[in-house]
Amino acid sequence: MTIKNNMEEVRDIDVTLDVVLTVIAKTNAEAYEKLDDMSVLSMLKLAVEQCEFMHLQNETKH
């Protein structure tokens, strides 16, 4: 999708990211079963929750 905004254009860019999720389970098989049962949105939320945002630790919250 391209949207013109004055002299610039807004462009969509596809990005592929490798993500490692930590799942609490007794076995790898159980962990994969839990992942299979999760929606994409649930997996993305879990990934974001597990990210370390180092640059945000020193910033003030407004």
- DSSP string for residues in 1-59: -EEEETTEEEE--------------SSHHHHHHHHHHS-HHHHHHHHHHH---GGGTTS
Q: For each of the chain's 62 residues, which pLDDT tens digit applies?
A: 556 667 788 889 999 988 889 999 999 999 999 999 999 999 999 999 888 776 666 666 55
CA distance 62 to 57: 13
For the entire predicted model, the pTM comes to 0.58
